[in-house]
């Protein structure tokens, strides 16, 4: 049964949740706690950015949301599927959830079209994986390649593209999957500032146009403020900020990062009475 603390704020979205976590935790065998008890409700159609002052927590959370790693405790629920507690439900979830990676994960010797078509593998099983792509799939791939502005590069090898172009190929590969949810792990970390803005603008516009739910991890606070509907800040695997982008003011950001740099654990942030009194938007979950 859900309580007031079971589902975190969803910014009053009338569309309901796309994905939610309930008391999600991950502890590695060596005792390192990558994610402490975390309960979140990601609204349908929202563009959520994960910020992390320590670096690892947001990537861990993304992989838990996609079922790439199993939690030590807690659950992940997806709209229309329920709890990701079986291999069949997890397979369905991965089919409708695309991932964009920091390092692109393209096959350099393949051209843009063939790399993008790999996003359709989830719709093929067994011997069909070794057959040629259908005409419809090729037309669909060309359509998303056009959307990311690379139609003139469609037959060019991936290893001959710039970093920004390679990331757009990765985005097209994610879109050809026809996802409902888009997860992106530091998609602009290796790009220059201008290219980063253009890529995130493209990603944001496509997600809003197609009604996709996006969860994107970033370390650039200015980009998070510019594109996010909601920002979730983590410190040492613990949620310490969860609110709209407008609420993360420069003063609050400075306070968060300065305090984080002086604290050994996220608990130090959330348990600091004076700090929370001064900055009530910073929370402990």
- Cα separation, 236 vs 265, in Å, equals 6
* Structure confidence at residue 56 (pLDDT): 65
* Structure confidence at residue 72 (pLDDT): 95
Burial of 163 (0-12, 13-18, 19+ CB in 10 A): middle
Note whether 214 and 182 are within 8 A (CB).
yes
* Structure confidence at residue 8 (pLDDT): 37
Note whether 38 and 23 are within 8 A (CB).
yes
Phi/psi for 133 (5° steps) reads -70, 150
- Cα separation, 187 vs 147, in Å, equals 18
Domain assignments of the chain as residue spans, ordered by start: 1-96+179-285, 107-178
Superfamily of domain 1-96+179-285: P-loop containing nucleotide triphosphate hydrolases (3.40.50.300)
Query: Is the whole model's pTM more than 0.85, yes or no?
Result: no
CA angle 164, 228, 222 (to 5 degrees): 65
Candidates 104, 80, 103, 102; CA nearest to 93 is 80
Mean pLDDT by 10 residues, the chain (285 residues): 38 69 94 93 96 77 93 95 92 93 88 94 67 89 97 97 94 96 93 94 97 95 94 88 89 68 42 40 45
* Structure confidence at residue 9 (pLDDT): 43
* Structure confidence at residue 142 (pLDDT): 98
* Structure confidence at residue 10 (pLDDT): 44
Handedness of CA 84, 90, 93, 97 (dihedral sign): positive
């Amino acid at each position: 049964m859900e309580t007031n603390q079971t589902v975190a704020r969803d910014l009053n979205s009338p569309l309901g949740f796309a994905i939610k976590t309930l008391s999600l935790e991950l502890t590695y065998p060596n005792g390192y706690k990558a994610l402490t008890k975390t309960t979140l409700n990601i609204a349908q159609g929202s563009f959520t950015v994960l910020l992390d002052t320590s670096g690892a927590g947001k990537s861990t959370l993304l992989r838990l949301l996609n079922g790439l790693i199993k939690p030590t405790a807690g659950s992940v629920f997806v709209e229309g599927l329920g709890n990701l507690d079986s291999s069949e439900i997890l397979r369905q979830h991965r089919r409708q959830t695309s991932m964009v990676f920091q390092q692109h994960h393209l096959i350099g010797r393949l051209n843009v079209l063939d790399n993008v078509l790999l996003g359709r593998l989830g719709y093929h099983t067994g011997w069909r994986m070794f057959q040629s792509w259908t005409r419809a799939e090729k037309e669909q791939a060309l359509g998303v390649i056009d959307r990311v502005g690379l139609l003139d590069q469609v037959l060019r090898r991936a290893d001959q593209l710039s970093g920004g172009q390679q990331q757009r190929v990765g985005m097209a590969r994610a879109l050809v999957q026809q996802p409902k949810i888009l997860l992106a792990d530091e998609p602009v970390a290796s790009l220059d500032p201008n290219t980063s803005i253009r890529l995130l603008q493209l990603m944001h516009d496509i997600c809003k146009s197609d009604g996709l739910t996006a969860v994107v991890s970033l370390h650039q606070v200015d980009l998070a403020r510019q594109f996010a509907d909601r920002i979730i800040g983590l410190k040492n695997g613990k949620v310490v900020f969860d609110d709209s982008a407008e609420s993360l003011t420069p003063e609050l950001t400075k306070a968060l990062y300065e305090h984080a740099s002086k604290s050994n654990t996220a608990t130090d942030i959330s348990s600091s009475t004076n700090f929370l009194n001064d900055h009530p938007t910073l929370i402990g979950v």
